[in-house]
A and B are shown apart, each in its own frame.
Chain A
Amino acid sequence: EVQLVESGGGLVQPGGSLRLSCAASGFTFSTYWMNWVRQAPGKGLEWVANINQDGSAKNYVDSAKGRFAISRDNAKNSLYLQMNSLRDEDAAVYYCVGDVGWLPRYWGQGTLVTVSS
């Protein structure tokens, strides 16, 4: 069974940093594209970033470029999102999502990021 478990969320001040992690199991992690998708409280879904199987290709939504960095460690079956210069509008539940292509097939339960002073 595919499992994606996010961690690392929490309360951070505006301008601060946070690193999210996603632990994957139940599938061959190194063969999957991986994504981060977020959902602000009471709002819709917003794709944030994705990374290809070996980490050589990455894509970001414009609002994340220059502030967020997606990475992965295939030896540890883990996906990461380093978030810097956090803003109020970055507050959301962040989901780890994966599949062999860009299709959002498998979703984690999400981790909540709160940005507040």
Chain B
Amino acid sequence: DIVMTQSPDSLAVSLGERATINCKSSQSVLSSSNNKNYLSWVQQKPGQPPKLLIYWASTRESGVPDRFSGSGSGTDFTLTISSLQAEDVAVYYCHQYYSAPLTFGGGTKVEIK
């Protein structure tokens, strides 16, 4: 099984400042057949179901603000919120869809400082 490890568990950032979340997979999620990383980021706001933000490690889902960006390849990935807004308060999960069992990171809670 591919283990997804996120850091930090939580972070508090001032409005307008940058938030950075890291995710490491225990095995590469980069496919040699299509050169794509099978890594997504989902956002879960309080009391709501999760919502897809980023897929293929760096492709923003339709409608997602461009302050959200994803980067990385192989086993190391980052989600960056370039200028934190109040509506970004949520738990963020990385997720590998490269191989079964599909797995999620433990989540990172983002709050306003």
Contact = CB atoms under 8 A, between A and B. Distances in A.
Interface residues of B, number: 22
A101 interface: yes
Contacts of B97: 101-104
Nearest to A35: B102
Interface stretch (B16-24, B45-53, B65-73, B79-87): B45-53
Interface in A85-105: 95, 101-105
A91 B93 CA distance: 20
Nearest to A109: B49
A44 interface: yes
Contacts of B52: 103-107
Interface residues of A, number: 22
Interface stretch (A7-15, A17-25, A45-53, A68-76): A45-53
27 contacts: A37-B50, A44-B91, A44-B93, A44-B104, A44-B105, A45-B44, A45-B93, A45-B104, A45-B107, A47-B101, A50-B100, A59-B100, A59-B101, A62-B101, A95-B49, A101-B97, A103-B40, A103-B55, A103-B97, A104-B40, A104-B50, A105-B52, A107-B49, A107-B51, A107-B52, A108-B49, A110-B49
